[in-house]
Amino acid sequence: MLKTFKNWILIGFASLILVACQQQGGGNSKKSKTLENTQKAGFVKCGVSQGLPGFSNADTAGNWSGIDVDVCRAVAAAVLGDADKVKYTPLSAKERFTALIAGEIDILSRNTTWTLSRDADIGLTFVGVNFYDGQGFMVRKNSGINSVNDFQSGISACTNTGTTTELNMRDFFNSKNISYEPIAFEKADEVVAAYDAGRCDTYTTDKSGLAAQRTKMSSPDDHKVLPETISKEPLGPVVRQGDAVWEDIVRWSLNVMIEAEEYGVNSSNASSLKDSENPQIKRLVGSEGELGSAFGLDNEWSLRIIEQVGNYGEIYEKHIASTGIMPDRGPNELWTKGGILYVAPAR
Amino acid sequence: MNLKFFSIDLKNKKRLIPQVLTLLSIVLAISYFAFNAQVNMNNRGIAFGFGFLTQEASFDIGFSLIDYDGSHSYARAFLVGLLNTLLVSVIGIFFATLIGVTVGIGRLSSNFLVAKFSEVYVEVFRNIPLLLQLFFWYFAALRALPLPEQAINFYDISYLTVKGWYVPKFIWTNFSIFIYSILAAIVAITFVSKHAKKQREEFGKHIPSFYIGIVLLFTFPALSFFIGGVTLDFEIPVLKQMSTTIFNFRGGVSIIPELMALAMALSMYTATFIAENVRAGILGIGKGQKEAAASIGLTNTQILKLVVLPQALRIIIPPTTNQYLNLTKNSSLAAAIAYPDIVLVFAGTALMQTGRAIEIVSITMGTYLLISLSISSFMNWYNQSVAIKEK
């Protein structure tokens, strides 16, 4: 009898512990849990691609660089004071959202297209756009195809699984009444290898991706990107839903880089502009206002971003333009210079 | 209170307690995980439900056994993936058994070359990880095939290229009648062989049921062509120029290189294990059995057919069932080479497009469980039919 009683007490305790665990797991505080955890860990957990030159690519020593990488570096500079304190997790298109939702990473900066269903349906929040892109096609130069209108039924097209590309491709070929054979690989490298070997006649993905992957091919000059753009692909960083403060930190880290370019603040002149005449510049370099306190950060967070990472123009030049991927900024030019980069003011 | 009754009751309770406790903790653990998942999904605004299955999939699949395009539902896309998984599993199991039995018997051959070759085959293919073999076949062997304009030509009806193996397509009319004729032939053959067995056992009369069976198997379908209105045409693939340098075959059936590579890798890898099962089965039959059979005047074929094989099968079948299950589950490596199986299509693309990870992964897991259970219950049934029958 006593034994049974003891056992019941044990079960009672076990259930209490379980309930307590749930309470903790389900708890929702007003402070940013992600920010706290990041500061405690000492690094920003950043999800990147498995290798896309210009966006997120690792060199032989394992150092990541690219404009997507720089978003994470900017956040690390803002919240930890050091842009290098980032832990990168390379993810396939298929894995990326699960990794973010499961908390394996805190920022997904992986040339990810902002769409309604991704933003609203699966517990994610897109914080902005760091590259305006569109889907295009690559073919061999000697193929005799000069425009998407030259495609004929029976064409085979290679692309990545789990991307908007797969959906756009279908919309496009259907509208042209062309039957096609889709071949979808998980890794970009596999897609490129298949296209290179002649398994498929055309390779389709975001135009920036095509330009970047072309540099990886055995003979880049044998291939060309067709002039047409068949979709809108606003690429930007993503965070989990439910942590508004963290969301704001990432959003404004990106915005500050774009606004810094607008006001001519760059990595070399930022600290000397502390006594500028222009109050907007002073806000950007942290000598006026208390902007950082809104996130629980100090006032020099934006100065650190500009000094350690640079403004948008600098990072574009460094990763995209000078590498020959897309020398022309096109829509990714400031709104004052004929592009569509227009961000809310940091004030 | 009756003391005796109480003591027995306590004893029973004592036995019961660990069982109840274990059961309870399992239930608690499962409900904890379920509850936890639900709370987290609620916090992040993720809806749960299977309604998405009827939505339009809006992505295309390159290789499908049934009619499918992006305007069909996610449920249909699931079915396409499932059929592709089953297709490669069936092909894989067929060839794995064929190669496995051949090599297994080959290892016991008295011919030195055959025995050594079989041994080397087994040792090489079972000791290299399956994924590497898959990559070898797909990225090294099949990628080396020529472009369509320089295709390897088989008598102008079939072409092997880097884009796939193009074979003629059968175009049937009244196909159902043809199927009925084959069913009728099978029924007739069963009847003949039963009759032959009875004649042999009761009257000692020998009826050549095997040859009669072969004749029947050809006569019935042939009749369906002559009087049943069944016709068969072939659509032969034709090379078509699509632009200055892009050529492709149109018409016929294309066996995509992804399917070929996967089927090759799966069957050649699994065959090594089946070969070892077969060897073990044959070696497991005592030498005395064969000698006894020889001493009552049975020929070598009869010894193999009547004495060795029925006993060897009992040893071979259970481990071979495992290999069939492994092969089916290993077919999920398809995702690595873009063969649109259930993992790539449903647990890959569909999961990405809908974001319903929990629903889709559980459906996929349930499906594999169902396929595996079906295979093992079929094999268990077959095993029982060859097992020792106590009389």
Domain boundaries, chain B: 74-166+255-285+313-386, 169-235
Q: Are B344 and B334 in contact (CB under 8 A)?
A: yes
Provide the token pair at A65: 């660089």
Query: Measured between CB atoms, does A218 come within 8 Å of chain B?
Result: no
Query: Measured between CB atoms, does A167 come within 8 Å of chain B?
Result: yes
User: Per-residue pLDDT tens for B333-373?
Assistant: 998 898 999 999 999 889 888 878 889 999 999 999 999 99
Confidence of residue A29 (pLDDT cuts 50, 70, 90): very low
DSSP state of A52: B
**DSSP per-residue codes, B160-177:** EETTEEEEPEEEEESHHH
User: Per-residue pLDDT tens for B143-180?
Assistant: 888 888 888 888 888 888 888 888 888 888 778 888 88
In this predicted structure, the answer to whether residue B3 has a pLDDT above a threshold of 80 is: no
Q: What is the mean pLDDT of residues B230-237?
A: 82
Provide the token pair at B272: 């090594």
- Inter-chain residue contact B44 with A242, CB threshold 8 Å: yes
Query: Measured between CB atoms, does A23 come within 8 Å of chain B?
Result: no
User: Per-residue pLDDT tens for B302-315?
Assistant: 888 888 888 898 88
Confidence of residue A123 (pLDDT cuts 50, 70, 90): confident
Q: What is the mean pLDDT of residues A150-154?
A: 88
Of A141, A325, A111, the closest CA to residue A226 belongs to A141
Instruction: Determine the CATH number of domain A135-231.
Output: 3.40.190.10
Query: Measured between CB atoms, does A185 come within 8 Å of chain B?
Result: yes
Which residue do the tokens 């966006």 mark?
A55
pLDDT of res. B170: 83
Distance CA B199, CA B206 (A): 7
Dihedral angle, C-alpha A312, A314, A320, A321, nearest 10 °: 130
- Inter-chain residue contact B44 with A144, CB threshold 8 Å: no
- Length of chain B measured in residues: 391
pLDDT of res. B6: 53
Q: Which residues contact B124 (CB under 8 A, 6 or more apart)?
A: none
**DSSP per-residue codes, B222-246:** HHHHHTS--EEEEE--EEEE-SSS-
pLDDT of res. B10: 61
- Inter-chain residue contact A101 with B43, CB threshold 8 Å: no
Distance CA A205, CA A223 (A): 14
pLDDT of res. A27: 38
Which one of A156, A164, A173, A241 would you mutate to disrupt binding with B, by most B Cβ within 10 Å of its Cβ? A156
Using CB atoms, pick whichever of B44, B147, B163 lies closest to residue A123: B44
pLDDT of res. B276: 95
How far, in Å, are A211, B213, B220 from residue B186 at the CA level?
61, 9, 10
Tally Cβ neighbours within 10 Å of residue A53: 22
Domain parsing of chain A, residue ranges: 33-132+235-328, 135-231
Of A249, A245, A241, the closest CA to residue A31 belongs to A245
Q: If residue B10 lies in a helix (H) or strand (E), which one and from where to where?
A: helix B3-43
- Inter-chain residue contact A121 with B348, CB threshold 8 Å: no
Q: Are A181 and A154 in contact (CB under 8 A)?
A: yes
User: Per-residue pLDDT tens for B343-353?
Assistant: 999 998 898 88
How far, in Å, are A215, A226, B248 from residue A223 at the CA level?
10, 10, 19
CB burial of A167-181 (b: ≥16 within 10 Å; e: otherwise) equals: bbbbebbbeeeeebb
Q: Minimum mean pLDDT among A34-38, B5-9, B302-306: which range?
A: B5-9
Distance CA B242, CA A304 (A): 55
In this predicted structure, the answer to whether residue A137 has a pLDDT above a threshold of 90 is: yes
pLDDT of res. A219: 86
pLDDT of res. A12: 59
Q: Are A78 and A301 in contact (CB under 8 A)?
A: yes
Q: If residue A157 lies in a helix (H) or strand (E), which one and from where to where?
A: strand A155-160
Q: Are B78 and B345 in contact (CB under 8 A)?
A: yes
Distance CA A195, CA B369 (A): 36
Mean pLDDT, chain A, rounded, equals 87
Chain pair A-B, CB pairs under 8 angstroms: 152
How far, in Å, are A318, A335, B256 from residue A263 at the CA level?
19, 12, 56
In this predicted structure, the answer to whether residue B89 has a pLDDT above a threshold of 90 is: yes
How far, in Å, are A93, A123, A124, A234, A240 from residue A116 at the CA level?
17, 12, 10, 12, 15
- Assign A201 to helix, strand or coil: coil
Query: Measured between CB atoms, does A2 come within 8 Å of chain B?
Result: no
Complex ipTM: 0.74
Q: Same CATH fold, A135-231 and A33-132+235-328?
A: yes
Confidence of residue B51 (pLDDT cuts 50, 70, 90): confident
The type of residue at A226 is L
Distance of CA A249 to the CA centre of its chain: 15
Distance CA A271, CA A250 (A): 22
The strand pairing partners of A326, in sequence order, are none
Which residue do the tokens 């992600």 mark?
A34
Residues of A in contact with B147 (CB under 8 A): 198
Distance CA B73, CA B14 (A): 54
Provide the token pair at B274: 């089946």
Distance CA B242, CA B249 (A): 10
Using CB atoms, pick whichever of B28, B40, B240 lies closest to residue A18: B28
pLDDT of res. A203: 94
Q: Which fold has domain B74-166+255-285+313-386?
A: MetI-like fold (1.10.3720)
Using CB atoms, pick whichever of A3, A170, A240 lies closest to residue B70: A170
DSSP state of A334: B
Residues of B in contact with A154 (CB under 8 A): 240, 242, 248, 250
Residues of B in contact with A121 (CB under 8 A): 46-47, 354-355
Q: Are B147 and B247 in contact (CB under 8 A)?
A: yes
Confidence of residue A290 (pLDDT cuts 50, 70, 90): confident
- Assign B108 to helix, strand or coil: coil
**Which residues in chain A (242-301) have CB-CB distances under 8 A to chain B?**
242
For residue A224, the distance in angstroms to the closest alpha carbon of chain B comes to 14
The type of residue at A93 is A
pLDDT of res. B8: 54
In this predicted structure, the answer to whether residue B205 has a pLDDT above a threshold of 90 is: no
- Assign A91 to helix, strand or coil: coil
Provide the token pair at B358: 């929990």
Residues of B in contact with A166 (CB under 8 A): 59-60, 349, 353
pLDDT of res. A39: 93
Distance CA B352, CA A96 (A): 9
Residues of B in contact with A193 (CB under 8 A): 139, 143
The type of residue at B171 is I
Distance of CA B317 to the CA centre of its chain: 15
Provide the token pair at A275: 């006594």
Residues of B in contact with A17 (CB under 8 A): none
Of B103, B93, B130, the closest CA to residue B376 belongs to B93
Distance CA A29, CA B85 (A): 46
Which one of B52, B137, B353, B356 would you mutate to disrupt binding with A, by most A Cβ within 10 Å of its Cβ? B353
Q: What is the mean pLDDT of residues A3-7?
A: 59
CA angle A176-A180-A181, nearest 5°?
160
CATH architecture assignment, domain A33-132+235-328 = 3-Layer(aba) Sandwich (3.40)
Separation of first and last alpha carbons in chain A: 71
Distance CA B295, CA B292 (A): 5
For residue B129, the distance in angstroms to the closest alpha carbon of chain A comes to 20
Which one of A118, A181, A240 would you mutate to disrupt binding with B, by most B Cβ within 10 Å of its Cβ? A181
Which one of B246, B247, B250, B359 would you mutate to disrupt binding with A, by most A Cβ within 10 Å of its Cβ? B246
DSSP state of B110: S
Which residue do the tokens 């092909």 mark?
B91
Confidence of residue A24 (pLDDT cuts 50, 70, 90): very low
For residue A238, the distance in angstroms to the closest alpha carbon of chain B comes to 14
Provide the token pair at A147: 């425009």
Q: What is the mean pLDDT of residues B120-146?
A: 92
Q: What is the mean pLDDT of residues A14-42?
A: 66
Q: Which residues contact B158 (CB under 8 A, 6 or more apart)?
A: B165, B166, B167, B168, B237
